[in-house]
Amino acid sequence: MDIQRLLTRLSLNIIIQFGVVVVIIGIAIAWNYDFIFQFYFENQQTRTGIIINSAIASLMLIGMLNILYHLIRYGREEQAIAGFVHNIESFKVDLMEGLPPHSIIVKRLLTMKSIEAAAGEINHSALSAMLTADESTKFGLIKFINNILILTGVLGTIVSLSIALLGASDLIDSAAGSLGGMGLVIHGMSTALSTTITAIVSYVIFGYFYTRINDVQTHLISGIEHLTSVYLMPQFVKRSDFIVNKMGDLIKSIIHATDNLKNTQKIYHASALTLKETISSNQEQINHMSVGMSEVKSLLADNIKNTQEIYHASTQTLQDTISSNQEQISRLASDLSEIKSLLREGFRLSPAHADDE
């Protein structure tokens, strides 16, 4: 999209030129005020020149104000186009966000939406012709002033020459040869000159700005039609070639998705094989661990059994030792008893006496 051309503020440039011209005219009038006052207002035998020049200046002023009004209006339309382009570049859902509801671009978008809602066919040429005709009707007064402005100068010249002819007739008919008729002739010629100059200057200035506002109108309509053809029409118009292109893009997308799916399946297959190998390897490791655990279990069982046997043998040996010790103690006790008996008999002691000693 040619954004730079759409963002060009041509109306603003013309408004600046308008202000410069007004300032220059004001300075020129102020600088030559004495000459202009003498040329247009002093020594006027009739008010014809003042009336015609005032009419020419009034027509020019009305036309220039009308041109200024349309320049300001087109400036707002150019701002709306710039805002619309900004919404497009920002990918906003609502393209009319922040735009004046009565702007041309908003009306064009709403018109196309209404036609689409009514299931009608959008004719870009018809929309363009309607917009051009609608804008042309708004320049009726400007066109009228542009066409008659130079004719007012011609009218002033004709009227002034008529006054001059009347003065010449009075001069001829005057038997006394008074100079009143001569003054009227000079007044008529002067009025013709002033009205002609006023009309020419007014027509040149007005014609320039009339041409420039036509350029602004053409630039604005061109921007509207550019946005319509480049952005709006593809959204609303579904032609056969457009559908074919969309189907082609859809088929390409499906092919691309299929290729991606195949690649994904290959990746899944490779992952499944890797997972299967990992599970097999883990199963072998688990089997080895099971065998090892069985061996450890049997070793522990044997060790426990041997420990129990050793414990049982140790217990039996201890019991035998205790029994043997008890027998020895019993024998020692009996031997001690015999020794006591022998000692008792040897010393011939009584049992009580022996016990006391």
Give the pLDDT band (50/70/90) at residue 356.
very low
Mean pLDDT of 179-192: 62
What is residue 62's predicted lDDT score, i.e. its pLDDT?
Answer: 93
Query: Whole-prediction pTM value?
Result: 0.59
Instruction: Provide the 10 A C-beta neighbour count for residue 217.
Output: 20
Mean pLDDT of 136-152: 86
Backbone angles phi, psi at 271, to 5 degrees: -65, -40
In 3D, which of 208, 192, 213, 239 has the Cα closest to residue 138? 213
What is residue 176's predicted lDDT score, i.e. its pLDDT?
Answer: 47
Asked if the model's pLDDT at residue 351 lies above 80, the reply is no
One DSSP character per residue, 152-188 reads: HHHHHHHHHHHHHHHHHHHHHH-TT--SHHHHHHHHH
Mean pLDDT of 101-122: 83
What is residue 354's predicted lDDT score, i.e. its pLDDT?
Answer: 45
Q: What are the domain boundaries of the chain?
A: 3-237
| Burial zone of 233 (CB within 10 Å; 0-12 exposed, 13-18 middle, 19+ buried) | middle
The tens digit of pLDDT for each residue in 59-76 reads 989 999 999 999 999 989
What CA–CA distances, in Å, run from 71 to 11, 147, 168, 217, 220?
6, 20, 49, 9, 11
Residue 89 CA to residue 87 CA, distance in Å, equals 6
Mean pLDDT of 205-220: 90
Asked if the model's pLDDT at residue 168 lies above 80, the reply is no
The tens digit of pLDDT for each residue in 291-330 reads 778 777 788 877 787 777 777 777 788 887 888 878 888 8
One DSSP character per residue, 300-356 reads: HHHHHHHHHHHHHHHHHHHHHHHHHHHHHHHHHHHHHHHHHHHHHHHHT--HHHHHH
